[in-house]
Structure 1
């Protein structure tokens, strides 16, 4: 099975060391400078949230060719970068139940990515997910959503990027150590969703230009 087929089957891909190592110090500095509690919609107490979409290097991460290639494989049509913000679970917080973020109009029209600025694993609340859980039938959907035994917890190094179909069951985990786990939450959406995106952009504190368009054929997904 090739990388495209594997990604479509599993619903996710971990791009190892996708972010150039020499970008990481500046990205962490920009993340920390962007932490704020001033959001239009209240955020959970156990997460730090950072406004970062006015930072050129953050946006460069969102436009890395391999990241755009993976997003294009999952979306399968012209798409745009809809949002990027920083998130970090505080010590003793960050736990989520397995959930789906849910596509807007059709399965696969929205893709998420987590770009990790710190090493991540069980000790600092890394993401759990259930592979190939993004296209279940009704019976499978009800069963899998409550079956943590099917979940795996990813781990890796700063500079890795997790790309996933938003219908994939996934969740953040408890950060028991309190160690840094800064990440960028990035979203891509099919072009047909642009009007809906514009209607909620202010509520999500989106300030960046989202007019650029990408096509699946613009980028080639390399083998892992």
Structure 2
């Protein structure tokens, strides 16, 4: 199966070692420098996670614009898009479990894509992401989703420098961090250009400080896999 077809079938892909190893120490420093208590954000964050305000850091912005990341986002969204938001998240020791959920498209299925870029190794011992492959596009007549049914869940594992990209309608969740080992990551959101006006109305509440005017066009992207 071609990788582009697999991406649309599964609703996600994992880019292994997409971040250069020599970037990681600086990215971890940027994460730690940007940490703010949950009650110091425009809208208070949950207390299960350490949250970092780092969207204007140049190294973070470079990760958000990696060519292979933009190419996958372009394939997921399928039209001009922009970088809408990025913030740091890390599950605290003994916390971090989330119920399966969807982040939800705004105007049409697939108009938003997310990425999780991992700055530390991740797996079941430190709260790695769970997801349900193919759950982003339920078939017509499919039963209502049971968000407590984890029979089809897979839990990711990998190394610092990996980047997960996924359709926001894919069922996914954060997991318990039983060991307390660090698992710093950034959550990046990319929106269809058609969502820019609504984005402007809420960006202050979401703590967005970066310039979001740049536009990316899927046709300009170089696909990261050889699909021949």
TM-score above 0.5: yes
The SS at the match of 1:150 is: coil
The runs of 5 or more residues in structure 1 that have no matched partner are none
CA distance in 2, matches of 1:166, 1:141: 20
CA distance in 2, matches of 1:15, 1:170: 17
- 1:35 corresponds in structure 2 to 35
CA distance in 2, matches of 1:83, 1:161: 16
Please report the RMSD computed on the Cα atoms of aligned residues, expressed in angstroms. 1.2
- 1:11 corresponds in structure 2 to 11
1:130 matched to 2:99? The reply is no
Match 2:47 to one of 23, 45, 60: 45
The SS at the match of 2:120 is: coil
Change in CA separation of 1:121 and 1:198 when aligned onto 2, cut-off 3 Å = same
CA distance in 2, matches of 1:141, 1:154: 26
CA distance in 1, matches of 2:30, 2:2: 36
Deviation at residue 146 of structure 1 after TM alignment: 2.9
CA distance in 2, matches of 1:2, 1:144: 31
Change in CA separation of 1:47 and 1:214 when aligned onto 2, cut-off 3 Å = same
Q: TM-score, normalised by structure 1?
A: 0.97
- 2:21 corresponds in structure 1 to 21
Deviation at residue 219 of structure 1 after TM alignment: 1.3
Match 2:112 to one of 83, 106, 110: 110
CA offsets 1:105-158 (integer angstroms, 9 cap, x no match): 000000000000000000000000000000004654624533201000011000
Match 2:199 to one of 197, 207, 210: 197
Q: Is the 8 A contact 1:3 1:221 kept in 2?
A: no
Deviation at residue 97 of structure 1 after TM alignment: 0.4
The SS at the match of 1:114 is: strand
More displaced, 140-149 or 150-159? 140-149
Aligned residues: 224
The SS at the match of 1:148 is: coil
CA distance in 1, matches of 2:143, 2:45: 28
- The within-5 A match list for 1:173-184 is 173-184=175-186
- 1:57 corresponds in structure 2 to 59
The SS at the match of 2:75 is: helix
Change in CA separation of 1:222 and 1:144 when aligned onto 2, cut-off 3 Å = farther
Deviation at residue 2 of structure 1 after TM alignment: 1.2
Q: Is the 8 A contact 1:84 1:187 kept in 2?
A: yes
The SS at the match of 2:190 is: strand
The SS at the match of 2:151 is: helix
Q: TM-score, normalised by structure 2?
A: 0.95
CA offsets 1:28-47 (integer angstroms, 9 cap, x no match): 00100000021011111111
